[in-house]
Amino acid sequence: MLKSRYIYCVFLIFTSLNADNLGSLMFHANCSTCHHETRDISAPSMMDVRKHYRAAFTKKKDFTKHMSKWVSNPDIKASIMPDSIKRYGIMPHLGFEEDSLQEIVEYIYDTDFK
């Protein structure tokens, strides 16, 4: 138990030292658990998610509004990635606060995951 807590603390320190901003820190502490930056593992890669959202919503305001709304309340009918839902299932409700979610989706919009 102590070892796993130590590893978790080291991970948080490492992540925070490498974080460009608050959105980056929150993304890496939360989203990257399922959404690897470049590989599809247990969910579509963030590179793929970003590509679909940037194609559908070219303006940052529209991108962040739609992604925030969808992450707040995942809905199959509102998804722009139905093939991913078929493959991985629908994203669970995560309960992010609105401000935190805004930081994360702005980071996703601004980051070229490669």
Return the pLDDT at 10.
47
Task: Give residue 77's pLDDT band: very low, low, confident or very high (50, 70, 90).
Answer: very high
The rounded radius of gyration (Å) of the Cα atoms in the chain is 14
The CATH number of the structural domain formed by 2-110 is: 1.10.760.10
Return the pLDDT at 19.
53
**pTM of the model as a whole:** 0.80
Cβ–Cβ under 8 Å, residues 50 and 113:
yes
Q: What percent of the chain has pLDDT over 70?
A: 82
Task: Give residue 112's pLDDT band: very low, low, confident or very high (50, 70, 90).
Answer: very high
**Distance between CA atoms of 57 and 59, rounded to whole angstroms?**
6
The residue extents of the domains of the chain are 2-110
Q: What is the pLDDT of residues 54-73, one digit of tens each?
A: 999 999 999 999 999 999 99
* DSSP annotation of 34: T
Task: Pull the structure tokens for residue 25.
Answer: 């820190």
